[in-house]
Amino acid sequence: MEKNAWNSYNDYDINLLNEICDDYRKFISNSKIEREVVANSISLIEEKGFVSLDEVISKNKNLLPGDKIYVNNRGKSLALFIIGDDDITEGMNILGAHVDSPRLDLKANALYEESDFAYFDTHYYGGIKKYQWLTLPLALHGVVVKKNGDVVQVVIGEEEGDPVVGITDLLPHLGQKQLKKEASEFIEGEKLDVLIGSMPLKGEEKDSVKKNILEILRNKYGIEEDDFLSAEIEVVPAGRARDFGLDRSMIMAYGQDDKVCAYTSLRAFLDAPRCERTICCILVDKEEIGSMGATGMQSSFFENAVLELCCLMGHSEPTAVSRCLTHSYMLSSDVNAAYDPLYCDVMDKRNSSYFNQGVVFCKYTGSRGKSGSNDANAEYVAKLRSIMDYHDVHFQISELGKVDAGGGGTIAYILANRNVNVIDCGVGVLSMHAPWEITAKSDIYEAYKCYLAFLKDA
């Protein structure tokens, strides 16, 4: 098989590739935060006949092969199932991606005024290079939940004509001391405050700019200052995903780690034919901060959902869930660091992933001595190689940089700790964790093909 996937494509491949990538650009542009991914996914799956597990339970219905079920976990994570012909205790084929991305979050007491400027105080989320967030047009996404329970959706900075916000930087003429700092200290986390206004409210003397901002928010959203105490507002780069490169062979977008895998997993899951085994797609929150919390993969929401499914199919024995998971196969759908010739000193050239060479399997992540790694077994890797070859999927096997250069983790080890056969499998990314990340269209297409093949034949 050709190393560069483009050389193997016929007209059918090119047309499907372009259709998938066009749809992906729209998806990621409209799904910048985890709540938006879940809401947009639910809208899509309900059109295709999926019903919530809560509805099935309330109607006391038994589940049958072909039934389509979803579990919405607090609007921030999602588990989808299509019941197969085989007994569920014989295992499932699972795709699992995360839908959170590095960003800035507003603090609870966020709004303040200083020297006739109004700011939002932030706390960064996940692993970022803080200096990359300076002088960018930024948007606000999220929810404000009022004391009476009303949920106010907030999106500012994405529509044509919307204002944007941002973080200022020091001019080079006065930045000699700043430029001598190490990159990690170039700007402190506490200085990543977002400038949001400078116009005073007429008739006010104290905090008049802040009061003007509050007046704007009150008029548009009905928000009072204390409502920010129960808000989740995320600061993300403003603007839509774009074709990248003069040949349009790549995509530049915010949050491709890991929404590129979330999209291709969801797309493959919905396009999969009727399978003998139950198939599952998990889209989870909090991976960038350790998968903790009720909406992260560390929580019991997934196992609880599987338990409910088992009960609705006549398995009330306490071992049903453990038997199901033990016999399951999973692809932890997460991105990999693609080889960048400008930064080759941290890459092992023989064991890196490359643009246009297909979906990436990463046998182990972790750091240094494989610390915190899943490290998939050889038998499972061999099984997947056979499936990929049978379906003509371009794939490569990679590590995450040189030994001792650093490292990272995914949700793979969490499912492995539940005795699931699992390996990381995703798309190579340039500029990972930067405000704007880059992927190759051919790799997006091959990831879709991989996930579809896996669901059919694992």
Reported as a single tens digit per residue, the pLDDT across 367-390 is 777 777 788 899 999 999 999 999
User: Residue 346 belongs to a domain with what CATH number?
Assistant: 3.40.630.10
pLDDT-derived band at 274, boundaries 50, 70, 90 = confident
Kindly state whether residues 416 and 268 are assigned to the same domain: yes
Are 59 and 206 found together in one domain? Answer: no
Query: Are residue 287 and residue 306 in the same domain, yes or no?
Result: yes
Whole-number Å distance between alpha carbons of 11 and 24: 20
Write out the residue range of the structural domain in which residue 161 sits. Answer: 103-237
Q: Are residues 56 and 142 in the same domain?
A: no
pTM of the model: 0.95
Q: Is the model's pLDDT at 339 over the cut of 80?
A: yes
Residue-wise pLDDT for 21-78, tens only, equals: 999 999 999 999 999 999 999 999 999 999 999 999 998 889 999 999 999 999 999 9
Q: Are residues 260 and 343 both part of a single domain? A: yes
CATH number of residue 108's parent domain:
2.30.250.10
Region 246-266 average pLDDT: 97
User: Domain for residue 247, yes or no?
Assistant: no
Residues 315 and 385 both lie in one domain: yes
**The three-state (H, E, C) secondary structure of the chain, written as one string:** CCCCHHHHCCHHHHHHHHHHHHHHHHHHHCCCCHHHHHHHHHHHHHHCCCEEHHHHHHCCCCCCCCCEEEEEECCCEEEEEECCCCCHHHCEEEEEEECCCCEEEEEEEEEEEECCEEEEEEEEECCCCHHHHCCCCEEEEEEEECCCCCEEEEEECCCCCCCCEECCCCCHHHCHHHHCCCHHHCCCHHHCCEEEECCCCCCCCCCHHHHHHHHHHHHHHCCCHHHHHHEEEEEEECCCCEEECCCCCEEEECCHHHHHHHHHHHHHHHHCCCCCCEEEEEEEECHHHCCCCCCECCCCHHHHHHHHHHHHCCCCCCCHHHHHHHCCEEEECCCEEECCHHHHHHCCHHHCECCCCCEEEECCCEECCCECCCCCCHHHHHHHHHHHHHCCCCEEECCCCCCCCCEECCCHHHHHCCCCEEEEEECEEECCCCCCEEEEHHHHHHHHHHHHHHHHHC
* Residues 285, 188 within the same domain: no
What is residue 1's predicted lDDT score, i.e. its pLDDT?
64
Q: What is the mean pLDDT of residues 151-159?
A: 95
The last residue of one of the domains, among 171, 206, 237, is 237
Same-domain check for residues 145 and 80: no
Residue 299 has what pLDDT? 95
In a domain, 220, yes or no: yes
The answer to whether residues 116 and 81 belong to one domain is no
Answer whether residue 11 shows pLDDT above 70: yes
Residues 63 and 92 in one domain: yes
pLDDT class of 405 with cuts at 50, 70, 90: confident
| Number of compact structural domains in the chain | 2
In the predicted model, what is the mean pLDDT of the chain?
94
